[in-house]
Amino acid sequence: MTDHTERENARSLPHSVWPAQALRRLETEGADSLGITLYELMLRAGHAAFDTIRRRWPQARRWLVLCGHGNNGGDGYVVARLAQAAGCQVTLLACDSNHPLPEEAQSARAGWLEAGGEIHAADALWPEQVDIIVDALLGTGLNRAPAAPYDSLIEKANQHPAPVFSVDMPSGLVAANGTVPGVAIEAAATLALIALKPGLLTGKARDYTGELHYHALGLEAWLSGQQAPMARYEARDLTRWLKPRRPTSHKGDHGRLLVVGGDRGTAGAIRMTAEAALRTGAGLVRVLTHKDNIIPILSARPEIMVDELLDEVLQQALEWADIIVIGPGLGQQEWGKKALKRVENSQKPMLWDADALNLLAFNPDKRQNRIITPHPGEAARLLNVTTAEIESDRLLAAQRLVKRYGGVAVLKGAGTIIASESGEMAFADVGNAGMASGGMGDVLSGIIGALCGQKMTLYDAGCAGCVVHGAAADAVAARIGTRGMLATDLFSELYQFVNPEMLNNKA
């Protein structure tokens, strides 16, 4: 999930996402494709960062540039030179090292000195007045907590009232997976260069990147010919999956969805799943639940077909259904265990969530006809690790989930990840902090289940469903803010994201 206010420039962000370890190859091969040197590519990076800062903070006259001892620092030297040439007052602090600078960074440093610039030590006093801080300390190679003097510079930048602009990655944020092993820059804006990295889209990224910008440095045409291993999806991508309905279509064409769950006292969970499926376009939705829930569900939403969960009723419903969702409100008592035992034998497409996942953790099995949608706590139980271990590498966790359980895994949380057993992986770059409330997962299950019933593959339904879910929440947040958002508030916004004609109008 990501704050909707920090993705206003999302249209400029690419779909492709590359692992951090691929960046050096992209830089080298990309520069070769243009017939330019890596230093010339660094000059382009510095220009892109400088131009972005000037657009974002046109009144900034006093710049503080923090340079590390690597190519990220080289970008900083270029930014400093350009700012000084534009008449800005620039103070540059650099971190020393016993190792020589990389060749490109050495050239950038020399260019700054030749232009009359000065280099101050990392522990030098900061100017009394600073309008903008440029973070060019640590790049994409970081995989541990920043050491001295980087850590103190990061802390000081975070405490300073001036906004911080990060070049490529906020220093301290791990590009590979979005973790923060120590301290990290809390940027007001970040400019991703050449490619988006996973660490900008998931894990702790949303707390540190600020406004996310992107520049390909002239490599757009070359990059379009490269096959990125991961993808980023947002609301404008929904038309790739959702097509207009035929005027003569009927409810049977749009999927018969069976939703199983809702033990005594949990009518709300199963009702939200079922209604979300209807709002997403499911043709028919049938709920099997505890007998005490039948009247409350029918009273709240008469379009839902509701029956008591009994063996003979469940068997008939399984034969009737095109897609099965089980788990919301299911509980872990004998009632729920018995139902899951019957459902797991079906070969039809299915989605398991909530208590179905908790029960699965006790009796793991692998199947290709299933989507699992765990939050980090459920994922931890499924993999027999701690929640902290899940959050320490969400990409690895998603890969381990599909390897162990098959099918498709949707690892929910900040920067939801969708992964398939065949190796596909995507990030749903939508959503906001208001979604951290009860019932949101139940709504997501209904959305994805409905899309499965509308003849999408499990993976496509997972991707599209997560985007619809987060985009609807963003629309709610735009109206009322994030505090106090309810899962059922999304129902009034789902229409605009599941109807292609409305999406095209918005575009």
3-state secondary structure of 191: strand
Q: pLDDT-derived band of residue 247, with 50, 70 and 90 as boundaries? A: confident
pLDDT at res. 11: 52
CA distance 29 to 25: 6
E strands within 406-463? Answer: 408-411, 417-420, 425-428
**What are the backbone dihedrals phi and psi of residue 65, each rounded to the nearest 5 degrees, phi first?**
-110, 125
Place of tokens 């590359």: 18
Please give, one letter per residue, the 3-state secondary structure of 388-410: HHHHHCHHHHHHHHHHHHCCEEE
- Chain center to CA of 254: 29
* Percent residues over pLDDT 90 in the chain: 92
Q: E strands along 115-188, which residues?
A: 120-121, 132-136, 164-167
Cα dihedral sign for 229, 235, 237, 243? positive
Query: Where do the domains of the chain lie, and which CATH numbers do they carry?
Result: 19-227 (3.40.50.10260), 237-506 (3.40.1190.20)
Q: What is the pLDDT of residues 431-462, one digit of tens each?
A: 999 999 999 999 999 999 999 999 999 999 99
Residue 295's identity, in one-letter code, is I
Name residue 134's beta-bridge partners. 65, 165
DSSP label of 196 = B
pLDDT class of 124 with cuts at 50, 70, 90 = very high
Indicate the DSSP class of residue 293: G
342 φψ region: left (φ > 0), alpha (ψ -120 to 50), beta (else): alpha
Q: Say if residue 7's pLDDT is above 50.
A: no
What is the pTM (predicted TM-score) of this model? 0.95
pLDDT tens across 127-181, in order?
999 999 999 999 998 999 999 999 999 999 999 999 999 999 999 999 999 999 9
Nearest 10 degrees: Cα torsion 192, 198, 204, 210 = 20
- Position 502 scores a pLDDT of 83
Cα torsion 88, 89, 95, 97: sign: positive
- Indicate the angle between helix axes 311-320 and 334-343, nearest 10 degrees: 30
Max Cα separation, the chain?
85
- Whole-number average pLDDT of the chain: 95
Whether 34 has a pLDDT exceeding 50, the answer reads yes
Is residue 205 over pLDDT 80? yes
